[in-house]
Chain A
Amino acid sequence: MAGRFLLIGLALGFLALFLAMPLVVVFSEALSLGLSHYAASIMDPNVGAAIWLTLLIAAISVPANLVFGVIASWCIARFEFAGRNLLITLIDLPFSISPVVAGLLEVLLFGLNGLFGSWLSANNIQIIFAVPGMILATMFVTFPFVAREVIPLAQEQGNDEEEAAATLGASGLQIFWRVSLPKIRWGLLYGVLLCNARAMGEFGAVSVVSGKIFGQTDTMSLAVESLYGSYEIQAAFAVASLLALLAIVTLVLKAALEWRHRDELNAVRRKRTA
């Protein structure tokens, strides 16, 4: 009995120390100089540009990963092909590489002295120290999120429902939209939410390729660091509070979706444990 309370207490204490406390600190620091200062920090045009760039990067990399994840899971679950296992292994690669190394890798490829550097500069295309590089870096780092959620699900579910749909007269496209996609939609949703959170919060890889030109190639995460570095503590926490808010919105969204589809979700869960 005592052991149980001790364990629960430990878990809750850990949660409070590492999750709740920082959240409180972020908001209290952000508001330490009052609401007007908070508003001013956020309204700053450079911060506005960082917010905009963060949203842009997420808006491009998340759908790209979504499409990739769906295609990869579709192929892996439905077909036996050469390189199938290699593909499954490679999908995990971004998880095992430090984001900073990933950023450096990109510099080596697309930087001025990189593999494609001379061709790119001859054609006047700038990737490193510009937005395209930051998008590529984010896509690389968030690459596994959707695929990792969806592939095991698709593999576990097999191909029977698709075959059933085919015998019932559905075309390939109808099978995809009415059967394959809805089947994996919960995995897809979690994948997208995780992917989005990571895309907005990514620091290492983006930091290497961004060049940190304040107001131009600055995301919110990078802005927090540079503001903090220049002793604008309150402004740094104001931007950090926005990131925290985004995380909270994501969680609320997920909870709301789960609540709305609770019947179906419960049914699916029960089946899995059965």
Chain B
Amino acid sequence: MTGTAIEISNLHRSFGPHHVLRDVSLAVRPGELLALLGPSGSGKTTLLRLIAGLDTPDAGEIAFDRDDALGRAPKERGVGFVFQHYALFRHMSVFENIAFALRVRRTPKTLVHERVTELLRLIQLETLAARYPAQLSGGQRQRVALARALAIQPRVLLLDEPFGALDAVVRRDLRRWLRQLHEEMAITTLFVTHDQEEAFELADRVVIMNAGRICQEGTPIEIYGAPADFFVHEFLGESNRLPGGVKAGRVTADAGFLLGNATAADGSYQAVIRPNHIDVRPNAQGAWTIARIAASGARARLTLHGFGASIEAEFTADRVIDLALATGSKVDVVFGNGVLFGADGTPKGRFGPPLDEAGSKLRLVDRS
């Protein structure tokens, strides 16, 4: 799959004094499933609305298949839009909701019936065709909204926080179902989410937005492996931030403990390490104390105190049991891989475990 389905160039949008989008450029490839990920207020929904034609940019261009889209009304763009709260027509049955796009196009009745029945089968709601939206569960409403958007046979599908209003189990099922559907239909799809797990699990590519700008775009692995800046790193998951410095290749926390080796130049940095890259070894003479153990199902999170600092470590609950860890136990802490950020928020280098006495590198594997 090559080429571009949607080409967005230098888009600006402000509401009064608020700059919601600043110089946003993005190329969406045909058939890909792209996630727009960012905290609320980052401009992702605005970007989606601009693509659909529900809003107009102050400056910039949007083209579909090299064809200028800004001059076109929403109905001429061939965009299927699924709203965050579904926006189903409350006075119409499920059948009529899905049939709406066909009815306004004056499609012959038999064809409408055929097409709607087909879509109902696709969303597995054939038996609920006569129900009204208010009589459906959240997940069912979501699927109806999707079928309604698909009825126009859109070239682009846009989903605004598609799973935002659903509970965890429905969310997971619907996520898998949507991925499957995308693979069958191969429609270029953009969805907005503030949930990084959702974005990473579902999307081919993820675009991370913050304060109206695109911070980074890439495959989930690319982004996780090399976050472009401190914001992205933080957004992808919790981490321990330890002010520290590098001297002759050794990274030391200001609190006074060794973190590892790095190739970065000497100076001050923020050493950032994820909880799942920290391990412990029981040691009665250890410098760290376990202050708290919080197990949530298969994962356990430890709060460790030492050197006047507090850090969080995370690994499987099984390991807590195997090592017989308990609150108040003394331990040694083993630091794995982390990132050094400069004062400007960009990564300056990575650090890793130091060489142990035997001279072999102590590799710390993620036990998650």
Interface residues of A (CB under 8 A from B): 157, 160-161, 163-171, 174, 178-179, 182-183, 185, 263-264, 267-268, 270-271, 274
Contacts and interface: CB of A to CB of B under 8 A. Distances in A.
A167 B105 contact: no
A99 to B, nearest CB: 36
B151 to A, nearest CB: 7
A268 B74 contact: no
**Chain A binding site: helix, strand, loop or mixed by DSSP?**
helix
A166 B100 contact: no
B134 A270 contact: yes
B87 A183 contact: no
A158 to B, nearest CB: 9
Contact of B75 (A160, A167, A264, A271): A167
A164 B83 contact: yes
Pick the 5 closest A-B CB pairs, nearest first: A271-B134, A160-B87, A168-B101, A267-B132, A267-B134
B80 A171 contact: no
B207 interface: no
B52 interface: yes
B91 A183 contact: yes
A266 to B, nearest CB: 9
B81 A182 contact: no
A27 to B, nearest CB: 39
Interface residues of B, number: 31
A167 B79 contact: yes
A268 B134 contact: yes
B300 interface: no
B152 A169 contact: yes
25 contacts: A160-B87, A161-B90, A163-B74, A163-B81, A163-B87, A165-B100, A166-B53, A166-B54, A167-B77, A167-B81, A168-B100, A168-B151, A170-B104, A178-B100, A178-B104, A182-B91, A183-B89, A183-B90, A185-B91, A263-B132, A267-B132, A268-B90, A270-B135, A271-B90, A271-B134
A161 B87 contact: yes
A28 to B, nearest CB: 44
B250 interface: no
B85 A160 contact: yes
Contacts of A165: 89, 100, 104
B89 A169 contact: no
Interface in B45-104: 52-54, 73-75, 77, 79-81, 83, 85, 87-92, 100-101, 103-104
A179 B104 CA distance: 11
A171 B151 CA distance: 17
Contacts of B73: 166
Contacts of A270: 134-135
A163 B83 CA distance: 9
A263 B54 CA distance: 33
Contact of A168 (B53, B91, B104, B134): B104
Most-contacted residue by chain B among A160, A165, A168, A268 (CB, 10 A): A168
Contacts of A171: 75, 104
